[in-house]
Structure 1
Amino acid sequence: MKLLYLSQYYPPEVGAGSVRSSIMSRRLAEDGWEVDVVCERPNYPTGDVDPQYKNGWVHTEQEHANLWVHRIWSVANKRRNVLEQLLFFTSFMVTSFLYVLTHPKRYDMIYVSSPPIFAAISGYFLSRILGAKFIFEVRDIWPDSAVDEIDEQSPLIKYGKVLEKWLYHKADHVIPVTDAAEAIIKTRSNGTPTSVIPNGVDVEQFRLMDNPKEGIDEPYDETKFRVGYVGSLGLIHDLETFVAAAKLLEDEEGLEFVIVGDGGRNNRLQEILDFYHPNNVSWVGLKRYEQIPYYISSFDLAVNPVNPSRAFDSIVTVKFYEYLACEVPVVTTGKGLMKEIGEQSGAAITIPPKNPEALADTIRGLMNDRKRLRELASKGRSFVNSQYSRGRLAELLSGRLREIAE
């Protein structure tokens, strides 16, 4: 069986989409699929192209006996506004289409990972030209997830909703990552079959590290209570509440806050830090993916701050699973599915969103209740091992795709 995997994001880029695409494509290859991945030159989230990929239209690498990765040219920028974002996304839509069209092969399936949704336009038309089935993976429902940044009445959102429904109708199968997202898709897809393959975590890579300092660039004081956030700086993430809570806890001795990550809203984070001027927050920037388990393992407590929005009620952030796999308890401000999964795990405390006082009180309480902290930490890894292991989920995807192909 031959599969074309279209994903704008792919390692060494960081982020949920990149990680999922890498693990899923590799596991499919290990399961006997012949997989071609078409992705962009690595530049996300900073907008700076990795030096080894700067020259040339395409860079092809064989990562497995059955897995080839084709990194193609597309516009790279920091996505600081809607125009830059559209240029970033649509350029990959065009170049991915042209690349595959000029290097035609026979595929049984064309599998498109979204967002960005525009890659699915390329995938659909390629599927019709090449006579392959079109499988549409939906990690976030777009344009719903953009409504808080763009006026809901804007032409972009209106046309985006038309595009979304059209793609659902044209797909041979839709792969959402949560039951809640599947329920939304079913109301818009006019009967297109769906299968939920959740997000998860690579439990082999993400585990509690014995000596976190081995993988961390900056020196830190192990005697301090360390509260951290790791991830992209995106629309979903409410880092203002995180920073404001840190400001409220400035007088607490032996407490520090750490932000690990970068992204299209890094200017906004800098504005927040400049406004609050907390003396207990370190923003250490973007780190290599293989370093992330070390940073998480250095935390006594992780925070998963999610902005309140209906669009995010059907989402569980990947970093939440990564925290639990590293046996770090989590405070989350999510609603909907995020709250539900947190309660199921037994390793998370959910508080109201946009409430720095509640977050500060919860952090202070756990800092002074190490028994409760240990109880929470003890439950996380077994929870993700049993339900959200990337390896097991990749096997489920491979099996489901074989059923669809028959």
Structure 2
Amino acid sequence: MRLLYLHQHYSGPEGTTATRSHALATALAARGHEVTLACGRYDGAVTGLDGVFRQGRREGRVRGFRVVEHDIRCGNAMGFAARSAAFLRFAGRATHLALAEPFDLVIASSTPLTVVLPALAARRLRGTPFLFEIRDPWPELPRAMGGVPAPALAAMAGMANAACRQAAAVVALSEGMAQTALVRGAARDRVHVVPNGCDLDLFGPHIPAWRPAEAAPWEMLAVYAGAHGRANGLDQLLDAAALLLARGEARIRLLLVGEGSEKQRLQEAAVQRGLHNVSFLPPLGKRKLATLLAGAQAGLHCLAPVGAFAEWTAPNKLMDYLAAGLPVISNLPGHGARLLSGAEGAGACGIPVPPGDTAALAEALGWMATNPSLRLAMGRAAREQAVRRWDRRLLAHDFVGIVESLAEPAAEEALLAA
């Protein structure tokens, strides 16, 4: 099949951001499909292309598939208006590509939700079917977070409804996300769940360990690696660090790795509060991050206390921690809490704490510092769960199977449109 994979925020493993689309495109190419992946310039992403941009784009081959990178910068630190403009510019460029070449199927991976516009246009004007991949449910999450203008939410709702109803298949990263697709009119037999997976080669006990100079040899190093935005609620980590200091706890260091609109404020707050047990690092490429996680003793997962996060998120960082064999402390309720506690049939591999409960977060950190043998057992359970349940290669196989199941209907629709 000739496949157009649209993911504005694509990155390969040298970047600092998620690599799901890289893994799935690689798997599709390995099966013999002709894959074109179109993306923009996302902050922290590394596409693998290094040529100059000509007329706003550059292209080349990466791991057996074609990458078309558009010179459209986008990042979480940008304001709403700037990001919205970048989303619409990419949608326009991707629409031109989708209509200019004879693709058999378009894969539209959201976020941003505007990536469905080229898919809808190709379906209407060329009869090309599309697969809608939901990484984050929009407008559900932006509405829950607040701060997004009502007209923008209404436009998102229209796009999401059209995508769910017209897609040949919908792939969601969690059961909760799949439910949003059903509510928006997707046919039940067209909705599939393919969760985020673990890169067992990139992360794991076989990776050489590295610790930054800020981390003393005797400290339990707890790492948060991810975006520093409003949705992440990282003030909770600073509050937990303050509680630990107030109790005289000197065995624990919190390390926040990443970038985002809140980072500078968080750094200034840590200094003003005298939190010498908190350190910050800039975003790290996945390979460097793997060495840091190998040298850490715990992974931290933190989100703002928003109820919608319970079943509507599928954080990549959680999968990285599990693959690295780290016990995890997380304030994500719902699926994330069940995963860590062992309630879903696997061994307990972390400690879930209630959203917004910084005292419980501090208690969990103290417990892990006090119980190293039990902490190590949780880490072993994390790696075991990663191998048994979340191997990205197995999940990529499932995704490829869904794409290939659309081959015959795609050919029939193309004939009807001709």
- Provide the TM-score with structure 1 as the length reference: 0.90
Superposed, which structure 2 residues align to 1:58-69 within 5 Å?
58-65=57-64, 67-69=65-67
User: Hey, what does 1:39 align to over in structure 2?
Assistant: 39
Q: Any conservation in 2 of the 1:75–1:91 contact (CA below 8 Å)?
A: no
Mapped to 1, the partners of 2:158 and 2:103 lie a distance apart of: 28
Distance 1:37 1:289, change over 3 A: same
User: Hey, what does 2:223 align to over in structure 1?
Assistant: 228
The amino acid across from 1:331 in the alignment is: I
Q: Any conservation in 2 of the 1:234–1:265 contact (CA below 8 Å)?
A: yes
- TM superposition shift of 1:296: 1.2
Mapped to 2, the partners of 1:95 and 1:359 lie a distance apart of: 45
| Backbone CA RMSD of aligned residues | 2.4
1:342 to 340, 351, 366: 340
The amino acid across from 1:253 in the alignment is: A
Distance 1:92 1:334, change over 3 A: same
2:184 paired with 1:188:
yes
Superposed, which structure 2 residues align to 1:370-385 within 5 Å?
370-385=372-387
Distance 1:228 1:198, change over 3 A: same
Mapped to 1, the partners of 2:356 and 2:135 lie a distance apart of: 24
Mapped to 2, the partners of 1:53 and 1:198 lie a distance apart of: 33
Q: Any conservation in 2 of the 1:208–1:326 contact (CA below 8 Å)?
A: yes
User: Hey, what does 2:82 align to over in structure 1?
Assistant: 84
Superposed, which structure 2 residues align to 1:175-254 within 5 Å?
175-191=171-187, 193-209=190-206, 211-213=208-210, 218=213, 220-250=215-245, 251-254=248-251
Q: Any conservation in 2 of the 1:141–1:311 contact (CA below 8 Å)?
A: no
User: Hey, what does 1:107 align to over in structure 2?
Assistant: 103
Distance 1:288 1:122, change over 3 A: same
- TM superposition shift of 1:76: 4.0
User: Hey, what does 1:10 align to over in structure 2?
Assistant: 10
2:131 to 127, 130, 135: 135
1:297 to 282, 294, 304: 294
User: Hey, what does 2:20 align to over in structure 1?
Assistant: 20
- Provide the TM-score with structure 2 as the length reference: 0.88
User: Hey, what does 1:320 align to over in structure 2?
Assistant: 318
Distance 1:20 1:226, change over 3 A: same
Distance 1:195 1:91, change over 3 A: same
The amino acid across from 2:236 in the alignment is: T
Mapped to 1, the partners of 2:88 and 2:351 lie a distance apart of: 39
Q: Any conservation in 1 of the 2:116–2:159 contact (CA below 8 Å)?
A: no
Mapped to 2, the partners of 1:53 and 1:356 lie a distance apart of: 47
Render the CA deviation track for 1:146-201: whole Å, top value 9, x for unaligned.
Answer: 12443477222233223211221121211111112212221212526211111111
- TM superposition shift of 1:404: 2.0
- TM superposition shift of 1:220: 3.8
Q: 5+ residue gaps in structure 1?
A: none
Render the CA deviation track for 1:276-296: whole Å, top value 9, x for unaligned.
Answer: 341111101111121111111
Mapped to 1, the partners of 2:140 and 2:224 lie a distance apart of: 25
User: Hey, what does 2:415 align to over in structure 1?
Assistant: none
Mapped to 1, the partners of 2:76 and 2:180 lie a distance apart of: 31
Q: Any conservation in 1 of the 2:145–2:306 contact (CA below 8 Å)?
A: no
- TM superposition shift of 1:259: 0.8
Q: Any conservation in 2 of the 1:304–1:332 contact (CA below 8 Å)?
A: yes
Q: Any conservation in 2 of the 1:329–1:373 contact (CA below 8 Å)?
A: yes
Q: Tell me the secondary structure at the aligned position of residue 35 of structure 2.
A: strand
User: Hey, what does 1:96 align to over in structure 2?
Assistant: 94
Q: Any conservation in 2 of the 1:73–1:95 contact (CA below 8 Å)?
A: no
The amino acid across from 1:278 in the alignment is: L
Q: Tell me the secondary structure at the aligned position of residue 132 of structure 2.
A: strand
The amino acid across from 2:167 in the alignment is: A
Q: Any conservation in 2 of the 1:327–1:379 contact (CA below 8 Å)?
A: yes
The amino acid across from 1:7 in the alignment is: H
1:278 to 275, 278, 293: 275
2:254 to 257, 260, 274: 257
Mapped to 2, the partners of 1:246 and 1:394 lie a distance apart of: 38
Q: Tell me the secondary structure at the aligned position of residue 249 of structure 1.
A: helix
Q: Percent identity?
A: 22
Q: Tell me the secondary structure at the aligned position of residue 131 of structure 2.
A: strand
The amino acid across from 1:30 in the alignment is: A
The amino acid across from 2:358 in the alignment is: P
User: Hey, what does 1:124 align to over in structure 2?
Assistant: 120
2:158 to 131, 155, 162: 162
